[in-house]
């Protein structure tokens, strides 16, 4: 969705590179519905024309009704929210029940020192995601702060407006997970690091490595099996190959993963881009099977990053291992804000939050919605321990067994299929009932990532509802029933 205020004059269709609204200074006191649609069509936007719930900038709101009358299917209301409002969650929830509301608006303009990590802003972003609203940032010269907030909340949809005074800036790139700026730093220090891809240098972000170190970059074409076998040869000669590939395409190389990497126990690093839901890329690109097929290979280490910073730490760790290692990460805007990442240790998970009623063990991209679900459970008087699993293989069995002793209820969350997946590995380790949340063993259809996670109960609200449903079904002991709503 693109947000265009009815009160503001849009740029004409012959300047699609500047599609956002102009200055609200009042040079055009009246904008027709047709002009709004022209502005949107110029950039191919098929969404609502959104305005605030009341007239702003001193304009009379009468022409909002004109737009609504002319184009009722492309009109909606954006409602402003105040980060200092302690009841912002209840306010946004109430708007969910109000017809016509399409987004919430967060004002960040004129506040260059605004801290993107303030609790009020975090609460707005979490509740907006829970209620299915995008957040409309009114930037007013403060685009950088808006982008930092967006980086902190990759599962919250967003829309921007009032950017005419800025040079166009690229939105967070899903491939930024794969850009791996850390690999450039590590390659500068270690001349043995080589980068390999299979006709995907731009898609995986290795184009930056290619441009800087062309003699250490290898594009083998659409031949993933050869990429693994070739990397095994590099590793035998003392090199440290890093293969960046989409999760779904690595399936083509399974024999080489077993025979060339696993059997010979060679230090090959696999960076699995688009692991989990790949969204608009389509059903063939969903990366839902890598956990299952990789955990079955002897000597293979499998990790999942919960943030961009953790991905970098995992890459550095993987390049110190003397065995094959895979790192999976999703197609979504990563958190690239400076956050404390505890040192990565082999087979060690990370306890992010202590609790006393239930333990939630989340893998990779599921960590953020798990934390949000824990916040929702807290409102019900339930204190959840939240664990960032980090490793699919080898598991942190010591921690898992201690959690099994301490908590009556164990929950695992993964963005992969449940059959033989991460939750199954935890179940095998603790040998007791576990509520496993993930995708069914099906070919998941095309759709936006956030929509598919919601459909299959893997957003914060879905996780919360699954846990509450299970507690209601059996208040005395957890069952082994898999829930993938």
Q: Do 283 and 229 share a domain, yes or no?
A: yes
Whether 55 has a pLDDT exceeding 60, the answer reads: no
Question: Which of 180, 177, 244 lies closest to 212, judged by CA?
Answer: 180
Q: Are residues 320 and 394 in the same domain?
A: no
248 and 143 belong to one structural domain? no
CA distance 332 to 153: 10
CATH of the domain at 235: 3.40.50.970
* 467 occurs within a structural domain: yes
* pLDDT score recorded for residue 176: 47
Is the pLDDT assigned to residue 73 strictly greater than 60? no
DSSP 198: S
Q: Which residue has the higher pLDDT, 135 or 298?
A: 298
Contact residues for 101 (Cβ-Cβ < 8 A; gap 6+): 76, 77, 78, 79, 95, 133
The CATH number of the domain holding residue 110 is: 3.20.20.140
The proportion of the chain whose per-residue pLDDT surpasses 70, expressed as a percent, equals 72
Choose the final residue of a domain: 161, 190, 208: 161
Q: Are residues 183 and 314 in the same domain?
A: yes
Per-residue pLDDT at 471: 87
- Position 332 scores a pLDDT of 64
Same domain, 216 and 147: no
| 290-327 per-position pLDDT tens digit | 999 999 999 999 999 998 888 989 999 999 999 999 99
> Does residue 33 sit in helix, strand or coil?
helix
* Residue 19 lies inside a defined structural domain of this protein: no
How far, in whole angstroms, is CA 91 from its chain's centroid?
A: 25
Task: Give the whole-number percent of the chain exceeding pLDDT 90.
Answer: 50
Residue 166 lies in a domain: no
State the CATH number of the domain containing residue 401.
Answer: 3.40.50.920
For 95, phi then psi, to 5°, come to: -65, -30
Of 122 and 333, the structure prediction assigns the larger pLDDT to 122
Domain annotation covers residue 20: no
Residue found under tokens 């004409």 = 12
pLDDT at 154 (0 to 100) = 66
- Residue 157 sits in the same domain as residue 180: no
Cis peptide before 394 (omega within 30 of 0): yes
CA separation for the pair 394, 301 (Å, rounded): 6
Rg (CA), the chain: 24
Domain identity same for 239 and 317 = yes
Note whether 404 and 318 are same-domain residues. Answer: no
Query: Rounded mean pLDDT of 4-24?
Result: 36
Q: In the listed set 129, 161, 193, which residue is the last one of a domain according to the structure?
A: 161
Task: Give the residue-averaged pLDDT of 73-82.
Answer: 71
**Residue 14 falls within a domain, yes or no?**
no
When divided into structural domains, the chain yields a total of 3
**For residue range 421-478, what is the model confidence (pLDDT) as tens digits?**
999 999 999 999 999 999 999 999 988 888 899 999 999 999 999 999 988 876 544 4
Q: How far apart are CA 204 and CA 273, in angstroms?
A: 7
Inside any domain, residue 400: yes
Residues 324 and 184 both lie in one domain: yes
Work out the average pLDDT over 359-382: 94
Predicted TM-score (pTM) of the model is 0.66
Q: What domain range includes position 76?
A: 33-161
Phi-psi region of 442 (alpha: psi -120 to 50; beta: other; left: phi over 0): beta
Same-domain pairing of 152 and 80: yes
Average pLDDT on 74-97 reads 77
**289 and 418 together in one domain:** no
Q: At what angle do helices 181-189 and 308-318 cross, to 10 degrees?
A: 30
Alpha helix ranges (H) inside 224-328? 224-236, 247-250, 254-256, 290-294, 308-318
Q: Identify whether 478 is part of a domain.
A: no
């Amino acid at each position: 969705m693109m947000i265009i205020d009815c009160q503001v004059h849009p740029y004409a269709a012959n300047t699609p590179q500047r599609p956002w609204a102009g200055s609200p200074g009042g040079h055009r006191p009246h904008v027709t519905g047709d002009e709004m649609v022209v502005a949107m069509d110029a950039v191919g936007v098929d969404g609502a024309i959104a305005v605030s719930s009341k007239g702003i900038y001193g304009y009379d709101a009468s022409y909002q009704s004109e737009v609504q009358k002319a184009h009722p299917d492309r009109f909606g209301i954006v409602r402003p929210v105040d980060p200092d409002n302690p009841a912002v969650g209840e306010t946004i929830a109430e708007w969910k029940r109000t017809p016509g509301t399409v987004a919430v608006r967060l004002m960040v303009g004129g506040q260059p020192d605004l801290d993107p990590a303030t609790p009020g802003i975090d609460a707005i972003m979490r509740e907006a995601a829970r209620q299915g609203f995008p957040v409309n940032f009114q930037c007013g010269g403060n685009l950088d702060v808006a982008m930092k907030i967006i980086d902190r909340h990759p599962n919250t949809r967003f829309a921007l407006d009032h950017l005419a005074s800025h040079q166009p800036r690229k939105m967070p790139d899903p491939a930024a997970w794969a850009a791996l700026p850390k690999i450039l730093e590590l390659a500068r220090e270690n001349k043995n690091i080589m980068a390999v891809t299979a006709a995907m240098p731009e898609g995986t972000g290795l184009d930056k490595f290619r441009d800087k170190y062309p003699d250490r970059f290898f594009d083998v074409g659409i031949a993933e099996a050869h990429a693994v076998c070739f990397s095994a040869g590099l590793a035998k000669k003392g090199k440290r190959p890093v293969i960046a590939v989409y999760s779904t395409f690595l399936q083509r190389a399974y024999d080489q993963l077993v025979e060339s990497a696993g059997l010979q126990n060679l230090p090959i690093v696999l960076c699995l881009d688009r692991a989990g839901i790949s969204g608009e890329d389509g059903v063939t690109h969903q990366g839902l099977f890598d956990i299952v097929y990789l955990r079955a290979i002897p000597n293979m280490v499998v990790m999942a990053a919960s943030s961009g910073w953790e991905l970098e730490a995992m890459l550095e760790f993987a390049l110190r291992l003397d065995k094959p290692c895979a790192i999976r990460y999703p197609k979504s805007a990563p958190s690239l804000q400076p956050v404390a990442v505890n040192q990565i240790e082999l087979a060690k998970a990370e306890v992010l939050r202590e609790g006393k009623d239930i333990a939630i063990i989340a893998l990779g991209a599921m960590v953020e919605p798990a934390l949000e679900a824990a916040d929702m459970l807290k409102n019900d008087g339930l204190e959840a321990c939240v664990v960032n699993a980090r490793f699919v293989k080898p598991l942190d069995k010591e921690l898992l067994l201690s959690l099994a002793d301490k908590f009556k209820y164990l929950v695992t969350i993964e963005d992969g299929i449940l059959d033989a997946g991460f939750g199954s590995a935890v179940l095998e380790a603790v040998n007791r009932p576990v509520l496993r949340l993930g995708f069914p063993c099906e070919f998941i259809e095309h759709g936006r990532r956030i929509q598919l996670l919601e459909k299959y109960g893997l957003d914060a609200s879905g996780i919360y509802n699954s846990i509450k449903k299970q507690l209601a079904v059996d208040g005395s002991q957890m069952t082994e029933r898999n829930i993938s709503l």
